[in-house]
Amino acid sequence: MILGAGMTGLAASLVSGLPVYEAEETPGGICNSYYVSPPGRARLSVSPPDGEAYRFEKGGGHWIFGGDPLILRFIEQIVGLKSYVRKSAIYFPKRGLHVPYPIQNHLRYLGPEIASKALREMLESRADARPAGTLAEWLRASFGPTLGEMFFEPFHELYTAGLWRQVIPQDSYKSPVDLSLAVQGALDQAPATGYNVTFSYPIDGLDMLARQMAERCAMYYGRKAVGIDVKRKAVSFEDGSCVQYESLVSTLPLNRMMELCGLNVDEGPDPSVSVLVVNVGARKGPRCPGEHWVYVPESRAGFHRVGFYSNVDPSFLPKSLRAAGERGSIYVEKAYRDGMRPTSKETAAACEEVVRELQEWEWIGEVEAVDPTWIEVAYTWSWQGSRWKAKALRALAEHNIVQVGRFARWNFQGIADSIRDGFIAGAAVAASRKDAPDVR
């Protein structure tokens, strides 16, 4: 059986024929669209027939970047894809300054004095070449104190909910360091770089991709796992039911699976960060950015990123409002330490504060829809010197439980790679079963 109907779990089921047990009533996990018709607050799992609704994402902007061409072809055959060229920036509220992303390749926007100083520090830091143990040390060694204090350090304080001084660096490709491009960007326009220079998105939304995949699977919705007996090989669900398994493919977060199974290793789990996503449908303000998303190193409300769904594609807007270009479908991300979920009252206050700050920046005007979502495990990190991840995966494997996907294996990857992982795991399970369907 498979736990979790995110993209990985659905892909694993497609090729193995195994049933999928999902806690929610819809498939897709955090990679899922939903709809809110103004001025109401009710969430709709599908777009209304008249198309008069804002499309939001449960997990904020989830775009399909990179990935195996065969996986992209699979997605395109199911739902169709549109491709986009990334437009992103960094915003400094106190200065009212927008700098294209990545900041280290666009130093001329900061003025000649800061650009010169930042370049010199980057050269000196690279020449020093001391090993970096923590994310904080890596940031300082890669970008120097000027860019660190201006952007990287305050941004990561928000992004990691304060963990950046204790966790190890990871996913360094997100912040590429190329001194030749930094020099070029200090004098002139530098070319776009990074893992997501181009990206794709399903024409009819991520919800359509999830539903199309789920229609080909044996689905059990509303089945939240509350305990796993690894000796009896049985999963207990919140509704009181219990299902035995021969082998278990799990896409649930690694820390959550260890708790469900009652397994312990000789060190504590690595940390994760939760995210409050505030989805907003509103009239655009006079200073509303044109980028797809904007990184924010300082905000009174504590958010670190603002994304503009409708700057990617107008289909995120109510149908009658798309042509005018006066509305925006927006998401705002605010990180929290694991276990620090705000109460409903605190969430409402956070939403009000986010809206108020965006209005003060003149990014939005009148608001037509505000809807928060909560992602319990959004970003995963590792303590310095930790071996918990490897030990936890091994402990589960000893009980015939295979962890597959982004959060299950405690690493960053995109939608396309998650689908690929599901296909590989599902094919492996199918090959080991005598009663498996013919997937040729």
Answer yes or no: do 78 and 12 share one domain.
yes
| Domain extent for 7 | 2-82+199-264+385-431
Range name among 24-33, 163-172, 400-409 with the lowest pLDDT average: 163-172
pLDDT of residue 128: 64
Quick check: is 371 in a domain?
no
The last residue of one of the domains, among 157, 187, 217, is: 187
Say if residue 132's pLDDT is above 80: no
Q: What CATH code is carried by the domain that includes residue 64? A: 3.50.50.60
Say if residue 436's pLDDT is above 60: no
Answer yes or no: do 74 and 119 share one domain.
no
Range name among 129-133, 167-171, 309-313, 380-384 with the lowest pLDDT average: 129-133
Quick check: is 237 in a domain?
yes
Across 100-104, 178-182, 411-415, the highest mean pLDDT is recorded for 100-104
Answer yes or no: do 11 and 145 share one domain.
no
Say if residue 439's pLDDT is above 80: no
pLDDT, one tens digit per residue, over 318-355 is 999 999 999 999 999 999 999 999 999 999 999 999 99
pLDDT of residue 130: 64
pLDDT of residue 371: 96
Quick check: is 437 in a domain?
no
Answer yes or no: do 173 and 118 share one domain.
yes
- Residue 99's beta-bridge partner residues? 90
Answer yes or no: do 78 and 15 share one domain.
yes
Quick check: is 423 in a domain?
yes
Quick check: is 87 in a domain?
no
Quick check: is 399 in a domain?
yes
pLDDT of residue 440: 37
pLDDT, one tens digit per residue, over 236-291 is 999 999 999 998 999 999 999 999 999 999 999 999 999 999 999 999 999 999 99
**311-329 burial string, b = 16+ CB within 10 Å, else e?**
bbbbbbbbeebeeeeebbb
pLDDT of residue 433: 72
Q: How far is CA 355 from CA 279, 328, 426, in A?
A: 10, 13, 43
Answer yes or no: do 119 and 66 share one domain.
no
- Residue that the structure tokens 């928060």 belong to: 372
Say if residue 203's pLDDT is above 60: yes
Confidence of residue 164 (pLDDT cuts 50, 70, 90): very high
Say if residue 172's pLDDT is above 80: no
Confidence of residue 235 (pLDDT cuts 50, 70, 90): very high
Answer yes or no: do 55 and 129 share one domain.
no
Say if residue 126's pLDDT is above 90: no
Cα–Cα distance, 431 to 434 (Å, whole number): 8
Quick check: is 272 in a domain?
no
Number of independent structural domains in the chain: 2
- Minimal CA–CA distance to 285: which of 304, 303, 306, 312? 306
Quick check: is 129 in a domain?
yes
- Residue that the structure tokens 């897709």 belong to: 28
Answer yes or no: do 15 and 78 share one domain.
yes
The last residue of one of the domains, among 187, 209, 236, is: 187
Answer yes or no: do 180 and 240 share one domain.
no
Of the chain, the end-to-end C-alpha distance in Å amounts to 21
Confidence of residue 129 (pLDDT cuts 50, 70, 90): low
Answer yes or no: do 395 and 252 share one domain.
yes
pLDDT, one tens digit per residue, over 46-92 is 999 999 999 999 999 999 988 789 999 999 999 999 999 999 999 99
Confidence of residue 435 (pLDDT cuts 50, 70, 90): low
Long-range Cβ contact pairs of 122-131 (< 8 A, separation 24 or more): 122/147, 122/177, 122/179, 122/182, 123/179, 126/177, 126/179
pLDDT, one tens digit per residue, over 11-59 is 999 999 999 999 999 999 999 999 999 887 789 999 999 999 999 999 9
The last residue of one of the domains, among 152, 187, 222, is: 187
Answer yes or no: do 224 and 164 share one domain.
no
Answer yes or no: do 248 and 390 share one domain.
yes
